[in-house]
Structure 1
């Protein structure tokens, strides 16, 4: 580490002098400055590790006393007890202030290089009564800067998909359709452009080829009724895919040279994670509605789109009306629950057992990007990735949280929040999704349903019963791998 010359700090006021020191001119205290931060423009301005190590250097320079022990008072300063008390109070105040600043800077790292410097600002006040830990849970959401967002998605697409999906002259290629969404974000017109519609197709997947969907009951409660999707939406196409059919579709769609193929192959022994990847990829390529097999459609999908709320937000797309391009629902809104981290990786979490999108929407491209990043496929050997090296003795709760954070609701929630931040110029954060009204919340082309929309009957966090007018999908948790928190 570079050695620093001690820098003098001018006193803010004239300290009292004793009679013995009156002839000697006061000398200011020396402060050892912090070590310099990395000059690399891609490094965070302050990170938890850099901030904590930096704080160790903000120490008053010690001087040895006449009898050997270290004293934090230079020998030329007055020795009266009142003066010492005043100096100790000043030093304590400074150290406390610096530690406070370190705490918040380490909790909310900033990005140095960005195309939108006006969006880079430290958050010194928590977004909610849950405190800084809740904000830290969303530290990986990313910049709300549109150029940065576009560059990240383009870079991912160039590695993840084959040449056919990267052809800019083909209006139906993945990259062309994704750019169409982003172009609307940069348009100067006050009137928002027409949003892309959700494809009229419902996707479900099963491990058994030839499986015939039908209702199943647990006592008086229907927990398994895939056929409800066809009955409730007779004018929509319905696709039920078995595992082996998924394998063929993925390879045909992506090609053998696609970066996403590596992710698919790496998850061969992780069926839950592979199912997550499939649902994101299927809707990214085709669009439509995805629904887990243990869900029951309570009302036609067309009803989900009948948003009756007013204008929301302040972004260019905030006043978008008509049919949305994305429909998502709240799974968890923890309120002031202090133990939220035990059960959910985010204090606000979105459902991914059911959601609907138009094809090639940036939210799904970003979700796939986050999933691949979590798998750490750039490691020399996949076996070194934390995703695949969990100890066999890990608890069921730890296993669940590992999957949820890597491929489940966590990256999906982050991708939705990133998009909402981008389309509103950074004015929409995670706390804006707290207490979604019964009619839902429309932000641009995204419709967010309250917890009763896709999670009725869970008997917590304000969820209504299954027969509620605004309940659209019931999740039966049949054979679920997820633990339920104590009420």
Structure 2
């Protein structure tokens, strides 16, 4: 007699897969009626301004000391990668890291190991108040690696890439970089970042499904500092240390500071990274700058820039100027208000560094615009460990 159990079992699996795909497809299709271009982090509610000013001054003092001793450095041509808590042998780097170095053989290559990072934090940067204590207080290497990449590029300059980033082409042949920071008339740039998330119309359901805190964000798994001592990176470092200190101060004295996905993103990851860049632009660019005027225009009917305290309009830079980019968008340091330090910024479209995603208009890894690709492992995220968490939060 013919038995149908295998066919029934296969059919059941088929229906389950189809149902899951429909659930995911439906959830990810939700859009909001209005876009969101501004996110207000709770870590910026009553920040420790005294500590942040102390940090900023300490970083400026290091900059002045180094420039006095060595003079202005030339363009930074070092590729930096980080491996913490592992044997730094080539076998630990993996094929992506090795290929990245080989593809960019004209660049110097430096691997920041646990031992190297320890000396850098505790000796080279020992004058930064609280740095060593906060660095060692992190319970996970991913948090230390976040802070370390900002410190390295601020102090030395160069190109940073996670070890699971692999090259679609060499850095120097990247079309977006050739059109921006590598142009001869684009010398006043201290930081180049890419777009990772650009979904201003994402609904609350989509935000939940994708585990997003904000519906936009810059990439920090790879970045480029054409020169050392970027004012943008300086502020990012200040924010990370300030947020870390606050998290520690508010944690249970017996249990210690806990870091979930949200706190990791907001304290050391893309959240604080993105916010700090937009805030520096807001503080340094004149009200007549296109970034400001475009932000204000995009806020018409939204009210995100209306001050709750005064009811007046806050003229600042939001995500609006960087939404839907199809080409690099840059602001040079010379465009800042008199007496303030910007350093200059270039933002690359998502198809340069952020392909392979199922959102934000990203293309595939084989896009002609792709410069580097990222495998988006994110294994430190709790929901990456479980399909149930992926589907239901």
Q: Given the superposition, is the C-alpha separation of residues 225 and 166 from structure 1 closer, same or farther in structure 2, using an over 3 Å criterion?
A: same
Written as runs of structure 1 = structure 2, the 5 A alignment for 1:326-405 is 326-339=191-204, 340-342=206-208, 343-357=211-225, 358-376=227-245, 383-384=251-252, 388-390=256-258, 399-405=260-266
Whole-angstrom distance in 1 between the partners of 2:195 and 2:122: 32
Q: Secondary structure at 2:173's aligned position in 1?
A: helix
Could you tell me whether the CA contact under 8 Å between 1:330 and 1:350 is conserved in 2?
A: yes
Q: Which residue of 2 aligns with 1:306?
A: 178
**1:204 correspondence with 2:102:** no
Structure 1 runs of 4+ with >4 Å offset: 138-142, 151-154, 163-166, 213-216, 381-388, 483-486
RMSD: 3.7
Could you tell me whether the CA contact under 8 Å between 1:296 and 1:474 is conserved in 2?
A: yes
Whole-angstrom distance in 2 between the partners of 1:276 and 1:327: 17
TM-score (norm. length: structure 2): 0.66
Could you tell me whether the CA contact under 8 Å between 2:55 and 2:128 is conserved in 1?
A: no
Q: Which residue of 2 aligns with 1:235?
A: 106
Query: Could you tell me which of 68, 78, 99 is aligned with 1:170?
Result: 68
Q: Give 1:258 deviation, angstroms.
A: 3.5
Gaps (5+ residues) in structure 2?
A: 1-31, 293-316, 333-343, 385-389
Q: Secondary structure at 1:303's aligned position in 2?
A: coil
What do residues 360-391 of structure 1 show as CA deviations (whole Å, max 9, x unaligned)?
Answer: 10111111111111113597x5744899444x
Q: Give 1:455 deviation, angstroms.
A: 1.6
Whole-angstrom distance in 1 between the partners of 2:230 and 2:104: 23
Whole-angstrom distance in 2 between the partners of 1:333 and 1:257: 34
Whole-angstrom distance in 1 between the partners of 2:231 and 2:180: 25
Gaps (5+ residues) in structure 1?
A: 1-127, 143-150, 178-195, 217-223, 310-318, 391-397
Query: Could you tell me which of 25, 29, 40 is aligned with 1:137?
Result: 40
Q: Give 1:130 deviation, angstroms.
A: 3.7
Q: Which residue of 1 aligns with 2:321?
A: 432
Q: Which residue of 2 aligns with 1:289?
A: 159
Whole-angstrom distance in 2 between the partners of 1:258 and 1:432: 35
Whole-angstrom distance in 2 between the partners of 1:170 and 1:156: 20
Q: Which residue of 2 aligns with 1:265?
A: 136
Whole-angstrom distance in 2 between the partners of 1:139 and 1:129: 25
Q: Given the superposition, is the C-alpha separation of residues 377 and 466 from structure 1 closer, same or farther in structure 2, using an over 3 Å criterion?
A: same
Query: Could you tell me which of 234, 244, 250 is aligned with 2:121?
Result: 250
Q: Which residue of 2 aligns with 1:82?
A: none
Whole-angstrom distance in 1 between the partners of 2:33 and 2:70: 45
Q: Given the superposition, is the C-alpha separation of residues 301 and 153 from structure 1 closer, same or farther in structure 2, using an over 3 Å criterion?
A: farther
Could you tell me whether the CA contact under 8 Å between 2:37 and 2:320 is conserved in 1?
A: no
Q: Which residue of 1 aligns with 2:330?
A: 442
Q: Given the superposition, is the C-alpha separation of residues 424 and 166 from structure 1 closer, same or farther in structure 2, using an over 3 Å criterion?
A: closer
Q: Give 1:468 deviation, angstroms.
A: 1.1
Could you tell me whether the CA contact under 8 Å between 1:352 and 1:412 is conserved in 2?
A: yes
Could you tell me whether the CA contact under 8 Å between 1:157 and 1:166 is conserved in 2?
A: no
Could you tell me whether the CA contact under 8 Å between 2:55 and 2:129 is conserved in 1?
A: no
Q: Which residue of 1 aligns with 2:276?
A: 415
Q: Given the superposition, is the C-alpha separation of residues 382 and 139 from structure 1 closer, same or farther in structure 2, using an over 3 Å criterion?
A: closer
Q: Which residue of 1 aligns with 2:303?
A: none
Written as runs of structure 1 = structure 2, the 5 A alignment for 1:108-119 is none
Ranked by relative contact order (alpha carbons within 8 Å, sequence separation 6 or more), the top structure is 2
Could you tell me whether the CA contact under 8 Å between 1:367 and 1:412 is conserved in 2?
A: yes
Whole-angstrom distance in 1 between the partners of 2:44 and 2:224: 21
Q: Secondary structure at 2:286's aligned position in 1?
A: coil
Whole-angstrom distance in 2 between the partners of 1:386 and 1:166: 41
Query: What is the total number of aligned residue pairs between the two structures?
Result: 303
Q: Give 1:330 deviation, angstroms.
A: 0.6
Whole-angstrom distance in 2 between the partners of 1:469 and 1:386: 53
Could you tell me whether the CA contact under 8 Å between 2:195 and 2:354 is conserved in 1?
A: yes
Whole-angstrom distance in 2 between the partners of 1:281 and 1:233: 23
Q: Which residue of 1 aligns with 2:364?
A: 465
Whole-angstrom distance in 1 between the partners of 2:254 and 2:244: 8
Could you tell me whether the CA contact under 8 Å between 1:374 and 1:406 is conserved in 2?
A: yes
Whole-angstrom distance in 2 between the partners of 1:248 and 1:476: 30
Could you tell me whether the CA contact under 8 Å between 2:37 and 2:319 is conserved in 1?
A: no
Q: Give 1:481 deviation, angstroms.
A: 2.1
Whole-angstrom distance in 2 between the partners of 1:136 and 1:160: 27
Whole-angstrom distance in 2 between the partners of 1:454 and 1:385: 41
